[in-house]
Structures are given as C-alpha cells and as structure tokens.
Amino acid sequence: MFLRVPLFIFVSVTLLFAAGCRDAKIATYRVPRETPSAKETGIAPAAEATSLTPDPTTIPIVWQAPPTWTPKALGTMRKGSFLIRGDDGSEADVSIISFPGFAGGLVENLNRWRGQLKLPPLTAEQIAGATAELSSGNLKFTVVDFVGEGPAGPTRIIGAVLALSDETYFFKLMGPDVFAEKSRPAFIDFLKTVKTR
C-alpha cells in the first residue's frame, strides 16, 4: 500500500515534467508600422494640402488661398481649413463649411458666431445693421466683424456667408483681436477669389 502511493506520485510527476518539457513553438509576425493620421497630427497630407477644395466633384465653388496661409487637415464638416501665422507667433484659424439650403437662416448662424465670443444675440434688425455686402463677380457675401472674448482673451471673428441655390457656405477667420484685424485685408481678398464652377 505504501509502495503504491510513492509510485503513483513518481509516475504523475514524471508525466507532468515530460509534458512541460515539450518544445514550445515560437511564432513571429511582421506588423507594419503605424502612420499617424492627419487628424492625430493636425498636418494635412501633401495631396490634401495643395488642393484648392476637398473634392472638385462634390463642391460647386473654388478659391485660391494666399500663399502665406498654411493648409490644415480637413475635418468632417470643413470644406477648407487654413492656419494664419504672424511674425509675433499669433495664430488665426480660417474655416470654410457648408450646409444644405439656408442652414437655419442668417440671423441664427451669425448669433452662433457671436455666442462663440460670449456676445449677446442680435435681432434681425440689429444683424442687418451689423453686416456689409461684398460682391465679387456673380457672388454676394454677407460680411460681419465681431469682437468679444475667447479662451485666450479678446478674440475677433471676421466672417462671410455665401448663399447659393441649394447650399450656404460659411467662411470664418477667428483669432486674437489685433492679429485677426490685421489679417482682414487678406481675408477679404481671399473671398474675392471664390468662384462658381
């Protein structure tokens, strides 16, 4: 009886040891190195950076940005996106977005911009007095210039709204008050390059 127990233990340990000593197969795999996306880096790919529009077949207008503006990666809503840098390190953002139809109306959209600057909303009559018209070729822009407060202090939005037959485009320059005001002439010249196909 006592001999059977040690024999059973010896056999069990031997079998376990033998099973553990089998050669394990080592497999190696080659995984391609991940390339950060433009969304992660904030830098537009070369093809995107040099194009005037995201996809010429899906947008009815074209434009030509000043050479000093740096193209940025396009988001899901942006048809165009640029960074303006000043000699003193100041930066302003230029965005171009569009919505179908009248996109809720001029008053609502301009008041949305005012809300970004912590400014109170304006009535339709007040909006009419705060806008100017800019004609370029067969296009008419409604232009505004709002100054308020942003995360980093006094901030300015110079914006333009372009209503086409079935779509409304919003062009917006936003940045520090003084720098955005200094960038206004280039922004207005930029609007004048916008043309329909």
- The topology under which CATH files domain 44-196 is Protein Transport Mog1p; Chain A (3.40.1000)
Q: Are 175 and 156 in contact (CB under 8 A)?
A: yes
**pLDDT for position 165:** 84
Q: Are 94 and 187 in contact (CB under 8 A)?
A: yes
Show pLDDT as tens, one digit a residue, over the chain (197 residues).
444 544 445 445 454 444 454 554 444 434 334 433 444 333 334 334 344 445 655 788 999 999 999 999 988 889 999 999 999 999 999 999 998 887 778 999 999 999 999 999 999 999 999 999 999 989 999 999 999 999 889 999 999 999 998 899 999 999 999 999 999 999 999 999 999 98
**pLDDT for position 29:** 35
Query: Can you give the residue ranges of every domain in the chain?
Result: 44-196
State both tokens at 6.
Answer: 């040690």
- Residue 190 and residue 116: Cα distance in Å, rounded? 23
Hey, which residues does 159 pair with through a beta bridge? 144, 172
**pLDDT for position 12:** 53
The reply to whether the predicted model has a pTM over 0.75 is no
DSSP 8-state secondary structure symbol assigned to residue 10? H
| Three-state SS letters, 105-171 | CHHHHHHHHHHHCCCCCCCHHHHHHHEEEEEECCEEEEEEEEEEEECCEEEEEEEEEEECCCEEEEE
